Structure 1
Amino acid sequence: MSDEPKGKPFLILFIAVIIVASVSLLPLSRISGGKLNDFNLIGDILPVSDTTVAVADNDNLHIDKELIAAIEEQKDSAKTVTAQPQETAVAPQDSIEEEKPLPEAINPRSGDIIKMEDYSPDGNGLARIKAALAESGNRLARIAVIGDSYIEGDIFTQNVREKLQDRYGGGGVGYVNMYSEFPGFRRSVRQSGSGWIVFNAGSSGKRNAYISITEQYSVKSADATTATATYKGVNKYHNLSSWGVSRFVFVSPQNTVIRTKCTDDGWETHEITGSPEAQCIEVSGAAPSFSVSLSDSSVAAIGVWLDEHCGVSVDCMSSRGFSGVTLTRVNEKLSGEMRRYIDYDLIILEFGINAMSASQRDYSAYSRLMVKVINHIRQCYPNADIVMMGVGDRGQKTGSEVKSMAVTAAMVNAQRTAARTAGCVFWDTREAMGGEGAIIKWASAQPPLANKDYVHLSHAGGARLAEEFVKSFVNAIEN
């Protein structure tokens, strides 16, 4: 007869369940590039109902809480206006904008090209980037792609960068943040470092004065003596093994010392005079690596830019879980200061997956909020054209069958309406993927072009989508 306690098997079982449940929370599909499927322990235990549920629930995608708060604020504002006496009531700015006749929606497809749908008043919504690329032999044309986890790890943007730099010149990965929890997921730069605390536009305790277009900044953690960040070039993609100029952008309210290092030449010390404005340390010269080190926790480190002097630069600025509405918090004054060092000719907005729900069919409120975002970005970066990308195709599950989420078309239409209202360019990502049912085909392809969450793209899928985007972009710029 065993001397083991009778409750021990139950304890072992309980621990096993906890371990499996914890693993079910990991985004296995994204980490493995689609080779492993995500799973939901609770979803596997409970019976499947007849109602439609989003497959994306399995990787813990939720509606952006900042979006929910913004919509509630929008509703409260509308109630306040309605409650005013009729003779003094003032229509919300959104209502005034909606009363303007919108330009007709453009058919997104022209043969094998997905059009850059230009809704600008003069039909010349890419004029600035076109002029910049025409001068790319003498200056740097800058493009920023701002989005959510769809482009996390430089997926899609790394291939857009490679293709545009091959065509127009340039090199370097562009913007990189100070610290990444999963540095190995990004293939376009080798990033390492320690001693940082990261604040983003949705963080509590953040300093709004330091929220830039990157939507994050970093400071030295209290328990670290120094905070360091190192970036090394890679050979996996063209033009990324080295670059010609390294920039570190920061705000230091007090006098401090910052050290930088290129290659193995040793550390260079920079005596910084305190200022409430953004400053930049610029180190010129071909470099396969760049490092930053500081010991002052009052310094707000905005990021590093690794570029050439000429050609084109493509920056990837991704914020997991964001819907885009927090871009209205980008500090206009800080943006003006940063433009002295880093200005943009084109800003591409990629959002939408964190604003979608299988039960929500009306996205007009989100559309109105994104109009505000576009207009605010224009104030922050008046020299930039703006392209809004529509959301990609997304899967949902009915029983055991996966289909395109029924409301995806409604989200695309809402995003197109935002572009029409704001007068910018729109690109239909979903149509470029193949339209209805595309995400299922992409996830089933060999190698997989999309992960088994039926939302995110694999690196191969990002490359495929980049082909379509660059084809559309070049067609609009050069024809």
Structure 2
Amino acid sequence: MKASKIFLFILSVILIMGVVWVVFPQGGIKVGGTTLRFASYEEASSSINEEVVDVDKVLSELEQSFNMIPGSHQDSLRFFKKFLKSNSNRIWLPNDDYTYLDSLFYLFDNAKEEDKIYRIMHYGDSQIEMDRISSIVREHLQGIFGGNGNGLVPAIQSVSTYSLVQSASGALTRFTLIGDSTTVRADHNRYGVMTHFSQLYGEASISFRVSKNSNCQERAKKFSEVALLVGNTSPGFKASLRCDTIRTESKVLKNAVQGVSLLIWELPAYASRGTITLSGSAEIYGFLMDGESGIALDNAPLRGCSGTIFTRLNKNVMKQSFDLLDTRMIILQFGGNRAVSVRNEKHISNYLRQLEKQIDYFHEVAPEAQILFIGPSDMGRSVDGRISTIPMLPDLNDSLKVMALNKGAAYWDLFNMMGGENSMVRWVKHSPPLASSDYIHFTTRGAEHVGMAFARAFEVCYNFYKLRQELDPEMVSAYMNSEDPFEVSSAEMMENNNDKTSVVE
């Protein structure tokens, strides 16, 4: 075929397509269950002109925002005010109260001296499965406050994790609050703090060892204390621990206990594996692997959950458990599973009312714990033929922030930390990928960035707390609440702080 005929053929095809484009209905044509459509000129041009999120730039600026150049107290105050007032990665605090986390920091600071372990419970959806995000936060915060181990885990683990390999055998039956039609549910609501438990009737064993997975964090690789969280135990309930640093040691509850009990084994040296043998009848809420003192962070992933199920849990079991565990912070990371079904403001309002009840519930069952809400990440789906942010997700994120702060909870904005609208597309296309091709979940590397970003934001709040121990509270308050955005005078520092003007190194 001559070149001229080929050219005319191609030209005619383009012209025909152009005519079809012009006359094709804007809403498309339904063929069976499928809608055929052409992108409009406006849609096509918006795709071309759409601002692309530069992920490397976002992460670089994020890292730089944490870096405080050593200097005077003036310089330090200026840095903290700027971070807490305007940094997109900051932890938003209720009433803009920079002292909101002070009581928590005081406990964490004194954990070693008091030989205590204070806990953070991290609830979330499938974004935190396999100990993703949680493990990074745990490693970083234990590096600051002390602590070791993987924390609280269920007797029967339905999804493997980076940090632990475990198995169970014998007379154990797993019951869980959430799931699909195949889920086995109990005839009561005593599911415990993990929202699922294992019922023991007879004899069973739980074996566990530190994972050799390359993603297992260093401080999770060893523990010096093991504990068992149980409830409704029969007379003579017996739990025995054998590990690589001690011979078998047994704990026996002679009398029946209707409430929650915590059985603790303190090891003479760090261990990396063990087996718990059980005998009797009990509800096994989980077992713990910790260090001597410091903090622990417990990972509780709830696949498919929107964070609205907690009020269905037995209050007495939850309160007793949080008291025994010394849980002082509860992180709720939800919103993604609801975002996919939100169509309008009414849907958002209904969801917010449900979440308000959950926060009220945690205030009741864990009155000494601070609550922090982590909002949804950006998520993408096909909208008019191209992958973009799920409609209403930005509005949902903003509404969740307002709701949390109004209910006395802190908020961390994961959506904007990523770069905001349409950032998920770029996280997926990044090399190496930081999110999976479902445009919802992070890859291991992406989860590391997220976990570290949150941990560093938390550390900034802690460093500000430490600085304020050296300064006059009234002067700090006046400066933080002043209209002048980031300036504090040297004369004011000298007048209010007297001899507390040493250089921060």
Q: Which residue of 2 is the match for residue 408 of structure 1?
A: 393
Contact 2:238 2:252 in 1 (8 A): yes
Partner of 2:356: 371
User: Aligned match of 2:250 in 266, 269, 273?
Assistant: 269
Instruction: Confirm or deny that 1:230 pairs with 2:213.
Output: no
The 2-side partners of 1:254 and 1:454 are apart by: 48
For 2:209 and 2:184, locate their aligned partners in 1 and report how far apart those are by CA, in whole Å: 32
> Is 1:159 the equivalent of 2:132?
no
Instruction: Indicate whether 1:259 and 2:240 are aligned.
Output: yes
Are residue 477 (structure 1) and residue 462 (structure 2) matched? Answer: yes
1:338 aligns with 2:321: yes
Specify the alignment match of 2:479 in structure 1.
Answer: none
Distance 1:313 1:374 in 2: 22
Alpha-carbon shift at residue 399 of structure 1 (Å): 5.3
Taking the aligned partners of 1:113 and 1:170, their CA distance within structure 2 comes to 30
Amino acid at match of 2:337: N
The corresponding residue for 1:302 is 285
Residue 212 of structure 1 aligns to a residue whose secondary structure is coil
Alignment of 1:174-253 (within 5 A): 174-183=151-160, 186-195=161-170, 196-202=172-178, 205-220=185-200, 226-234=203-211, 236-253=216-233
CA distance change for structure 1 residues 168 and 50 in 2, over 3 Å: closer, same or farther?
farther
Residue 282 (structure 1) shift: 0.5
1:213 alignment partner AA = V
The unaligned stretches of length 5 or more in structure 2 are 1-31, 40-81, 465-505
Describe the SS at the equivalent of 2:219: coil
Instruction: Give the superposition deviation at 1:266.
Output: 4.5
Q: Identify the residue that residue 72 of structure 2 maps to in structure 1.
A: none
Unaligned stretches of 5+ in structure 1? Answer: 1-44, 53-106
What does residue 321 of structure 1 align with?
A: 304
Task: Report SS of the residue matched to 1:137.
Answer: helix
User: Which of 125, 148, 151 in structure 1 is aligned with 2:100?
Assistant: 125
Amino acid at match of 2:162: R
Which residue is equivalent to 2:274? 290
Secondary structure of 2:445 counterpart:
helix
Q: Of the two, which has the highest radius of gyration?
A: 2
Q: Is the 8 A contact 2:145 2:295 kept in 1?
A: yes
> Residue by residue, what CA displacement relative to the aligned partner does 1:117-172 show, whole Å, maximum 9, x if unpaired?
11158553323321122213323232111111111111101111111112222110
The 3-state SS of whatever aligns with 2:112 is coil
Q: Residues 448 and 388 (structure 1 numbering): CA distance in 2 closer, same or farther, change over 3 Å?
A: same
TM-score under structure 2 normalisation?
Answer: 0.69
- Post-superposition offset of 1:420: 2.5
1:322–1:168 distance in 2 versus 1, CA, 3 Å: same
Following superposition, the deviation at residue 467 of structure 1 comes to 1.7
Give 3-state SS (helix, strand or coil) of 1:379's partner.
Answer: helix
Q: State the shift of 1:257 in Å.
A: 2.6
CA contact (8 A) 1:120 1:425 kept: no
The one-letter code of the counterpart of 1:466 is G
Matched residue SS, 2:128: helix
Query: What is the deviation of 1:477?
Result: 2.1
Cα distance, 1:270 vs structure 2: 2.9
2:85 and 2:38 map into 1 onto residues whose CA distance is 37
Q: What letter matches 1:302 in structure 2?
A: Y
Which piece of structure 1 moves more, 286-295 or 155-164? 286-295
Is 1:389 the counterpart of 2:366 in the alignment?
Answer: no
- Look up the SS of the partner of 1:376 in the other structure: helix
CA distance in 2, matches of 1:181, 1:424: 30
The SS at the match of 1:162 is helix
Deviation at 1:306, TM superposition (A): 0.9
Match for residue 122 of structure 2?
145
State the alpha-carbon separation in 2 of the partners of residues 153 and 370 from structure 1: 25
Retained in 1: the 8 A contact 2:117–2:326? Answer: no
- SS of alignment partner, residue 436 of structure 1: coil
Give the counterpart letter for 2:104 in structure 1: I
Paired letter, 1:318 = P
2:261 matched residue in structure 1:
279
Give the aligned partner of residue 483 of structure 2: none
| Secondary structure of the corresponding residue to residue 325 of structure 1 | coil
For the 8 Å contact 1:118–1:125, the answer to whether it is kept is yes
Contact 2:208/2:275, CA 8 A, preserved across alignment: yes
Partner of 1:88: none
C-alpha contact 1:128 1:345 (8 A) present in aligned 2? no
Change in CA separation of 1:287 and 1:352 when aligned onto 2, cut-off 3 Å: same
Change (3 A) 1:340 1:409: closer
- Counterpart CA distance in 1 for 2:84 and 2:228 is 41
CA root-mean-square deviation? 2.7
Task: Tell which has more relative contact order, 1 or 2 (C-alpha 8 A, sep 6+).
Answer: 1
Paired position in structure 1 for 2:29? none
Letter of the aligned partner of 1:283 in structure 2?
A: W
Compared with structure 1, are the counterparts of its residues 121 and 395 closer, same or farther at alpha carbon in structure 2 (3 Å cutoff)? closer
CA contact (8 A) 2:332 2:373 kept: yes
Number of residue pairs aligned between Structure 1 and Structure 2: 376
Distance 1:379 1:404 in 2: 36
Q: State yes or no: 1:355 paired with 2:338.
A: yes
Shift of 1:112: 5.6
User: Could you say what secondary structure the match of 1:465 adopts?
Assistant: helix
Name the SS for the 1:124 alignment partner.
coil
Aligned mates of 1:48, 1:108 — CA distance in 2: 48
% identity of equivalent residues: 22
> Relative to structure 1, is the Cα distance of residues 397 and 121 closer, same or farther in structure 2, using a 3 angstrom cutoff?
closer
